[in-house]
Amino acid sequence: MTITCNAGHAPSSFVTTCQADRSWLPEPSCRYVSCELPSITDGYTTNNGSRINTSSLPYGTTAQPQCSSRCYTPSPSTERTCQEDGQWSGSEPSCIPIVTCNSLPTLTNGYYDVGSNTARYYCDEDISPKCHDGYFMVGSGVNRRCVANDTWSGEDPSCERITCPAPNPVNNGVYNGSQTAYDYGIILVLTCERGYYSSNSADKYRKCDGKDRWSGNDPICQRITCGLPNRIYYGRYSIPYQRSYDFGTVITPICDEGYRIANDVTERVCEEPNRWSGDEPQCTLVTCNKPTSIENGLVMPDQQIYNYSTVIHLRCNEGYEVKDGVQHRRCLEDGSWGAVSLQCVKVVCNDTADVQHEYINTYPNLTFGEVGNVTYDSMFFHLVEGSTEVNCLTDRRLVWTRTPLFGRSDFVMS
């Protein structure tokens, strides 16, 4: 006898036989049969057009594979049946693409960013249009999508050359160009007029780096001014005090009395923002070197260096007297000594008061330290003792070496 079970059940055996003892062998029975819902990557299962949402289906149920995307189809696509062994008939399907597109042609002055893909593209796959450096996109610029076999959404955009109009004019400055438009990548340099400067050096350089766009900010050429220069120790500048000074202002350092510029800075000019030209002046005390040695004389005090306004005294050595110059000299502001240097000459003896004698005819012309002889009337007198030598002293006096004694001589007529 053949056994038939209700829907969703399967007989333990499809055939049973009646035995002599009136029993059936095997004992007929029906068991519940179900199959787990088959899984499909990127897809789902339907039954008679309706999506199956249960986790298991009874024996005999039929299922049809479907793909989630319109761009894919199940393979194999045959219907499957839940069998009495709890397994589905047929093979497990998968979703394979049914729509592909070839690569788009290269854009003029641009390209499609496809990464490393050089083969065909699948349905709903996007690629991005890009322009080469120095060009900008005209059009939507949106991604293009593979929507059907060899069919892409949208249209090719166009890439046009980036240009910039002339930058805004700058008061008291000028760019190194006179065009009305400039190509991408061009760099213009601003030069401020004499007496002006750009407060932000980076803004001096403007690059056309986008459509109608210059890099940086509009520069400003500001008037060059200088602040008050640093104080000069022992000196000042020949300008009135004020907070700032205009470009081109000239200042002259002036040292206090007794001081002079030590580093040859005669003037400074406001040439750059808050910067005066040249080095800072230094005022140092005026000194005078030791004057040239005085022949037959000396300097008091005797030292190598003398400070400003120091007075020195010059003196002739013993037996010498001043012929020319002065005996006092002052160290002046220019580091020199005023007046003519002293000249010392030997003293000439002309005072004969100590050697007067009625018998003497002439006296020698002597200078200090010299010894000479007087002449006397030898026809009538002769030297008895002493000497006719005289010495010249520092006080211009002639004195005897040894006082002479004269005697009268006999006069004989021939």
CATH number of domain containing 137? 2.10.70.10
> Are residue 141 and residue 112 in the same domain, yes or no?
yes
In a domain, 19, yes or no: no
In the prediction, which pLDDT does 274 show? 92
Closest CA to 2 of 21, 31, 24: 24
- Given a cut of 50, whether residue 248 has pLDDT beyond it is yes
Q: Which of 161, 185, 205 is the last residue of a domain?
A: 161
Confidence category of residue 258, pLDDT binned at 50, 70, 90: very high
Write out the residue range of the structural domain in which residue 324 sits: 287-346
Q: Based on the domain organization, do 91 and 133 belong to the same domain?
A: no
- What is the pLDDT, as a whole number, of residue 268? 95
The verdict on residue 16 lying in a domain is no
Asked if the structure places residue 17 within a domain, the reply is no
Instruction: Indicate if 193 and 216 belong to the same structural domain.
Output: yes
22 in a domain, yes or no? no
Classify the C-alpha dihedral 335-341-342-343 as positive or negative. positive
The pLDDT of residue 414 is: 45
- Looking at the domain assignment, is residue 241 inside a domain? yes
- Residues 63 and 45 placed together within one structural domain of the fold: yes
Work out whether strand 225-227 and strand 244-246 pair parallel, antiparallel, or are unpaired.
antiparallel
Q: Using the 3D structure, point to which of 256, 279, 302 is the last residue of a domain.
A: 279
Residues 320 and 332 in one domain: yes
Q: Which residues touch 226 (CB under 8 Å, ≥6 apart)?
A: 244, 245, 247, 249, 270, 273, 274, 275, 276
Confidence label for 342 from pLDDT (cuts 50, 70 and 90): confident
Give the total number of structural domains in the chain: 6
Question: pLDDT, tens digit, for every residue of 351-376?
Answer: 999 998 888 889 999 999 999 999 98
pLDDT tens-place string over residues 208-224? 999 999 998 889 999 99
The overall average pLDDT reported for the chain is 87
Stretch among 22-31, 210-219, 242-251, 267-276 having the lowest mean pLDDT: 22-31
**Residue 119 domain flag:** yes
238, amino acid identity: S
- The answer on 119 and 67 residing in a single domain is no
- Do the domain assignments include residue 47? yes
**Does residue 413 fall inside a structural domain?**
no
Write the single-letter amino acid at 28: P
pTM assigned to the model = 0.52
**Of 70, 97, 124, which residue sits at a domain end?**
97
For residue 372, give the nearest of 357, 358, 353, 352 by alpha carbon: 352
